[in-house]
Homo-oligomer: A and B are copies of this chain.
Amino acid sequence: MPGYTVTVTVRLKQGVLDPEAETTQRALERLGFDLEDLRSADQFELDLTAEDAEAAQERAEEMTERLLANPTIHDYEVAVDPR
């Protein structure tokens, strides 16, 4: 079966507080950098084999919903690349 690298990006939903991102933004501002907003996200790169790209995408979505993201507070994106 062909190998794929699936990139899953997990972001907080709009409106969910992100104190870590706020702290990082303020630290950058204290260093003299000027920025309007900073958001943070977690990214997972999964190497797996699957019948085709569609199967890889489906499997990664299942893994994300079971473990990598919390659907109450997170949105996520899945991108599949052949390896």
Contact = CB atoms under 8 A, between A and B. Distances in A.
Oligomeric state, in number of copies?
2
Interface string A1-33: 001000001000000000001001001100101
Contacts of A62: 33
Contact of A44 (B40, B63, B67): B40
Contacts of A39: 44-45
26 contacts: A3-B36, A9-B43, A21-B44, A24-B44, A24-B67, A27-B67, A28-B63, A33-B59, A34-B48, A34-B49, A35-B46, A35-B47, A35-B63, A36-B47, A37-B45, A38-B44, A38-B45, A39-B44, A39-B45, A40-B43, A41-B42, A41-B43, A41-B44, A42-B42, A42-B43, A43-B43
